[in-house]
Copies of this chain bind each other. A is one copy, B any other.
Amino acid sequence: MKNSQVTIKDIAKELGISSSTVSRALKNHPNVSPETKKAVTDLAEKYNYQPNSIALSLRRSKSNTIGVIIPEIVHFFFSTVISGIEDIAYSAGYSVIVSQSNESYDREVIDTFALSKNRVDGILISMSRETTKYDHFETIHKRGLPIVFFDRVCDAINCSKVVVDDFDGAYQVTRHLIQQGFKRIAHLAGPENLILSKHRMDGYKKALKEHSLEFDESIIIRGRAADNETLAKQLTTQLLNSANPPDAMFAINDRAALGVMKAVKEKGLKIPQDFAIAGFSNWEFTAMTDPAITTVDQPGFKMGQEAAKLLIREIEAEKDEVIEPEIKILKTDLIIRGSSVAV
């Protein structure tokens, strides 16, 4: 149990010089004689000196840590984003501390202030599904703490954001379904308070319009089905049993698409011959179902990278330097699989 690490003071004492000199010697400051430098570095190496990062943080009033708040960690997309964040953060010398809101507004507020109290240098956030008030963001942002939103962004705060081109992704996947010959394409929509739901809906509408298909509210599934596979299945079954059922479905995300698929299979329809399905996000499992699900790939890793870059840029800006908020829109990638086209 050699408890304490060796410090600058220890080295100074052993060499009979002051800590200032040791500090300077270690960073190769010109005002230190070569002999002293050598003595210091030798001893530092011998004792395996590691600068105390906490003392450094206090001195510089900078923790070199960034906080991340996401709805959930156990989630293919978000964990991919974290991976991207860490990639950039680590190579820039930052640690990453992650906390999850579990899609709860209250928890998100707690997490936000906890990170602020922990003196992180900046925060990356993807909002919870419940969040409709933004005071907690406002508060810490006004305090001068850099914030960057990603994916589930907040329009009310004037800061940098990274999103995926939801509109275009939805447009492309819907167009694909139309090009495959499907005529009556339903849409399972997302929660109304997330902008991405609106964007995807708009992309869907644009594709319909462009191909002279009319938008029909009766084949739109709204509400909480987006993240509830069972509900998605139920509502799809209902739709399939209706008078004028759809022949394809674009679901707002892959989990919902899976619910749709189960409903369609249960009904005895063949995929994609009788009914085509497309999701959104390219979650891992979409390649594993039978048939595999057509979807839209969101560059999660890249999103994490970009968000981290924007944040660090802001953190490391000079005091008087004014950083204009930047909105990064990442292109999506249409992944065509068996659920929408015969292989």
Task: Report how far A52 CA is from B143 CA in the complex, Å.
Answer: 15
In contact, A265 and B288 (Cβ under 8 angstroms): no
A258 within 8 A of B: yes
Task: Please give the distance in Å from A77's CB to the nearest CB on chain B.
Answer: 9
In contact, A2 and B144 (Cβ under 8 angstroms): yes
In contact, B50 and A54 (Cβ under 8 angstroms): no
Q: Which residues of chain A (144-194) have a CB below 8 Å from chain B?
A: 144
Q: Which residue of B lies closest to A85 (CB)?
A: B73
Of the listed stretches A93-101, A219-227, A331-339, name the one at the interface; the rest are far from the partner chain: A93-101
A274 within 8 A of B: no
> Which chain B residues lie closer than 8 Å to A73 at the CB level?
73, 79, 82-83, 86
Q: Which residues of chain A (271-293) have a CB below 8 Å from chain B?
A: 284-285, 288-290
In contact, A65 and B119 (Cβ under 8 angstroms): no
Among B4, B83, B99, the residue within 8 A (CB) of A74 is B83
Task: Report how far A144 CA is from B58 CA in the complex, Å.
Answer: 24
Task: Please give the distance in Å from A157's CB to the nearest CB on chain B.
Answer: 15
Q: Which residue of B lies closest to A78 (CB)?
A: B79
A142 within 8 A of B: yes
A90 within 8 A of B: yes
Among B52, B114, B284, the residue within 8 A (CB) of A119 is B52
A117 within 8 A of B: yes
Task: Please give the distance in Å from A268's CB to the nearest CB on chain B.
Answer: 14
Known pairs A97-B65, A144-B3; A79 contacts B74 (CB<8 A): yes
As for how many copies of this chain the complex holds, the number is 2
Majority SS at the chain A contact face:
mixed
> Which chain B residues lie closer than 8 Å to A319 at the CB level?
3
Task: Report how far A65 CA is from B51 CA in the complex, Å.
Answer: 17
Interface pairs (27), CB distance under 8 Å? A1-B144, A2-B143, A3-B144, A3-B319, A4-B61, A50-B116, A50-B117, A53-B117, A53-B118, A54-B54, A54-B63, A73-B82, A73-B83, A74-B76, A74-B79, A82-B98, A83-B100, A90-B114, A95-B97, A96-B97, A96-B98, A97-B97, A98-B98, A265-B290, A285-B285, A285-B288, A288-B288
Interface residues of A (CB under 8 A from B): 1-5, 50-55, 57-58, 61, 63, 65, 72-76, 79-80, 82-83, 86, 90, 95-100, 114, 116-119, 142-144, 258, 265, 284-285, 288-290, 319
Contacts A51-B117, A86-B98, A289-B289 given; 10 further ones with Cβ under 8 A?
Answer: A1-B144, A3-B319, A50-B116, A50-B117, A53-B118, A53-B119, A54-B63, A54-B119, A65-B97, A284-B285
Q: Nearest 10 CB-CB pairs, A to B?
A: A285-B285, A74-B79, A1-B144, A290-B290, A54-B57, A73-B79, A95-B97, A54-B58, A97-B97, A79-B79
